[in-house]
Structure 1
Amino acid sequence: MRIALTITELDPGGAEACLVNLACYLKHHQHEVQVFSLGPPPQSTKLTERLAAARVPWQCGGLTHVSQVRAARGWLRERLVAFSPEIIQSMLFHANAVTAWAARGMPCKVVGGVRVRQPQRYRWWIQSWAARAMERVVCVSQDVAEHCQRNEGIPPSKIVVIPNGIHLPTLPIPTPTNLWESFGIPPTARVLLFVGRLDPQKGIESLVARADALLGQLPEHHLVLLGDGPLRERITQQTAQLACRNRVHPVGWQPDPFPWMQQSEAILLPAKYEGMPNAILEAMAVGKPVVSFAVDGVRQLLGQDSLAQHQLVDSPSIDAFILQVVRLAQNPDMQQQCGTANHSRIEQHFQLDQQLAKYEQLYLALI
């Protein structure tokens, strides 16, 4: 098959990593694949280096502002016509909308990709319009699929759920002996780890604002913040104002989160909304417990048993989140039970190649 993959941008992120994983998988399975990003060339080349290594051609349009939507459509259409794909798979809101417009009238099948429940109503209408030009819409979780049906009016017959997946790392993961010390963290620290983009969506401001309340109840613990983003300066300022500032450590973006996760007691996700969070997938893959608000996709990952309830926070209150973290941090036996169950869930249901094969099977069924 000739398959075009379109996306809003290629800077490292969950959806971007999924698309690159899919491109490499399809190429490995003898399909002809090209990637088209509407945005500018990424600042980090982590994902584009993988595409180059797999010999998957990629192009960037540098056209993401709303005023450039007509130019983006023309840029993408010109390249799609030249490539003449049998399947076009788009991912993320902007790429879904522009791809549906650019591919209109082309003799190919368009498949959309919805990664998160859009909070703005006008985006529901645009995505509903785009879905009319699509044969299928792939949703990353059952929660997102239900939102698309209920609020965007996308017919159930068009919707397919394909969760995120992950390669199970070989445990234990090799870890630098001075991982903590190199960032001023005591080697004996009991670490609670946040992994994610420093963005309002992730709820990081609320977590840092309540760090004194959290760590005041856990005198042996430190809070480590792994990630970068638009709130970096704000988080640095917040941290400097804390009474426990010597136990809160923003360490920036790190290329490999697994060693950090393996050396931590639990991974925290105070996000306000998600589709299916990769940080939770990664934590589960290394056998770690998590604490997360019950945002989209998390229940599907953790399952329905009693151990999941020790890791989920149904209330949107940050105080309820802090309480759940404290309970888990004070119960090492429960941490171990949750971590073991989490690893088993990934092994059984969320391995990467299992999920990528579902895309290939979908495309083959459409042509």
Structure 2
Amino acid sequence: MTQAPSSASAVKPIIEVRGLGKNFVLKRSVFSRPLVQIRAVDNVTLSLMPGETLAIVGESGCGKSTLGRLLMRLIKPSTGEVFIDGQNVTNISHAEMRQQRRHVQLIFQDPYASLNPRMTIAQTIAEPLMLHNIVPAGQRAKRVAELLEMVGLRPEQANRYPHEFSGGQRQRVVIARALAPEPKAIICDEAVSALDVSIQAQILNLLKDLQNRLGLAFVFISHDLGVVKHIADRVAVMYLGKVVEIGASDEIFSAPRHPYTRALLSAIPVAAPPSHQRSRAARLHGDLPSPLSPPQGCRLHTRCPHARPECKTVSMKLDVEASGHANACAFWRDLPAQDGTEGVREPRNPKLEKLFVAFEAMAARSAQTVKGG
């Protein structure tokens, strides 16, 4: 007797990509044939489930933002397939893609550059309502007011222009516009990196609140691993266009497999004296290779302190564990144990340690004075 599928197995991903790749032509011949190409995204396979936050991290130039645009089909992939809400959108027409794009929206890094300076906030937010015919014309102003309140702005601000808002307020407007077509997923491309730290916290709390209230899924593209640790359910680590490790956020931060992931996490600064900080044994050597001619075999072998002769010739594939954690290092089980995955330990300097202790004592005395006064 065949058992009915469980509710967990019946859940389908909102976004799914299989073998995704993107080439950009840098130089053509006189006959328009490609002479020089750069492989920005190379054979990426991943999925985004309803209600989860998938973070994509890596160094600048690793292909994070290009992957985000491929997920929305803003740019057409060179290889592979893209599925949105179960439909293959790789080769559909522009008109069909416009309808599918209602399910997936995008928040850009610079909110000012992504807003039309000649349009009021009300016009900006009402545009997707009109484009997808979601709300009748007579009710759009009311819906715009609801969306503004939802993101922490006042309805009376609707008739202002983008230059009349601060950076954090503009990003709230962009979020309201993304919410207007009632999407199932939002791709956040460095959505808080251009904001002050205090404003970053407010925007992140807003995104988490909206996720809980509306059941949204997020693709969170970022280079700030401190932010990713607190917001992501799963993390995908990219290096030179490839995903080298993907898994649950807790596992990535507590027990990273791939040497590149270890190096990223060991670079997170920690506010502690040098003697209390953790090992920097995961540091990589040399500079990032040119993406025009990536190394053969494992692409990290030119910088990896644990590289073996096999790494120079054998192209590593993602090895999926029973837990779903996958990484592209075949020798990760032989890597030395790491004393924590966060923080950087510089060579011990007694003078710096004394200075740090003195600052702590001064801060403690100040706190006691304020409490007693």
Fold shared, TM-score > 0.5 on shorter chain: no
The structure with the largest helix share of the pair is 1
Per the normalisation by structure 1, the TM-score is 0.31
Q: Which has the larger radius of gyration?
A: 2
Per the normalisation by structure 2, the TM-score is 0.31
